[in-house]
Amino acid sequence: MIGGARRILPPLAAALLALLAALGPGVPRQVALTDALVVVDITRSMNVRDMEGRSRLDFARDRLRDWIAARPCGTRIGLALFTERRSLTLFEPLEICEDFAAISRTIEGLDWRMAWEGDSLISRGLDHALARARDMGVALVFVTDGQEAPPLPYGGPAEFRGESPGGVILGVGGDAPAPIPKFDDLGREVGFYAPADVQHAPARIGAPPPDASERPGFHPRNNPYGESDLEGNEHLSALRADYLRNLAGGRGLGFARLAEGPAAIDRALAAHAPSHAATVTRSLAPVLALAALLIMVGCWLAASPLPRYMRKEE
C-alpha cells in the first residue's frame, strides 16, 4: 500500500502543480509606472555607422525594444517618428505586455525612408513632440543625435514657451565626427556627404552676428553675414550631447545616452517624469510549472534502471 502511494503521489502532485500553473495564479503588488510617447529621429544623420559598427537607427531600435521589454506590465508606450520639424504618431500609448508583439514589430520597421522631408530641425521637432505627449497625458522619450540640419541661426534655438509633460532626451551617436551616408533617389548608398553638399553653421537666417561688420565680404544690404562661415564640418556627424542637455534643461527633461542602457533611462525618467501607482500581478505560473517539471524528472529518474557500470556485482 505504501509503495503504491509512493508511485502515485509524485505524478499526482506534478499534475496538480501543472493545473495550477495553467490557471495563472499571481501575487498582486503596487508599482510606480511611467507612461511615455517614444519619438525616434529618422533623419539621415541617424544612418551614421558609429554605434558598434551599426547605424544609430539600428542601434536605437534594438535598445528601445530591450528597454520596453524590461518595463513592468501595466506601462503604456506610444511610438512616433521625427523628421523635418514635426513628429508623426504611429500609435498612441498601448499596454506593453498585451501589445508587445505589435510594439516590437513597429519599432523594427522604423526606417529613414519614412521621412517626408530632409531637414532635421531638432528643437522645433522636440517642442512639437512635447505638445503631442502632453495632449496624451504621458511623458516624452525623444531619441536623437541632436544634429540640426540646416544649422541653427546665430540666435540659437527658439525659447520653449509650452508646458512640459516631463521625460528624457536619449542621445545616440559617437563623440567623434563621422561621415554621413548618402543615398540616391532609389535608396541606394552612393558614398558620403561632402562639404559642398550641405549648409554649414550657422544658418543665414534671422539677425546677423554682432561682429558681422568685421567679417570678410560684409555688406549691410547684400551680405549682412559676411563670408567667414561658408566652410565647416556639417557633412560630418557626432552626438551633440551638450546641445541636447541644454535643450533638455530648458524643457524640464532629463538627458541620458541610449548606450548607457535601460537603468540610465529609468533613472532619468524617475527624476524628470511623473509616475502613477498601479496594482500589477506577478504570475506564479513559471514557478509552479518548474516545480511540476522537477517532480516529473525525479519520477523518471527513479523509475529508470541504473546503467550496468553503476550496478553492484552480485
Q: What is residue 314's predicted lDDT score, i.e. its pLDDT?
A: 47
**pLDDT tens per residue, range 73-117:** 889 999 999 999 999 999 999 999 999 999 999 999 999 999 988
Fold of 28-199+237-281: Rossmann fold (3.40.50)
Taking residues 242-265, report their average pLDDT: 95
State the SS3 of the chain: CHHHHHHHHHHHHHHHHHHHHHHCCEEEEEEEECCEEEEEECCHHHHCCCECCECHHHHHHHHHHHHHHHCCCCCEEEEEEEEECEEEEEEEEEECCCCHHHHHHHHHCCCHHHCCCCCECHHHHHHHHHHHHHHHCCEEEEEECCCCECCCECCCCCCCCCCCCCEEEEECCCCCCEECEEECCCCCEEEECCHHHCCCCCECCCCCCCCHHHCCCCECCCECCCCCCCCCCCCEECCCHHHHHHHHHCCCEEEEEHHHCHHHHHHHHHHHCCCEEEEEEEECHHHHHHHHHHHHHHHHHHHCCCCHHHCCCC
Q: What is residue 26's predicted lDDT score, i.e. its pLDDT?
A: 72
Q: State the pTM of this model.
A: 0.79
Domain spans of the chain? 28-199+237-281, 203-233
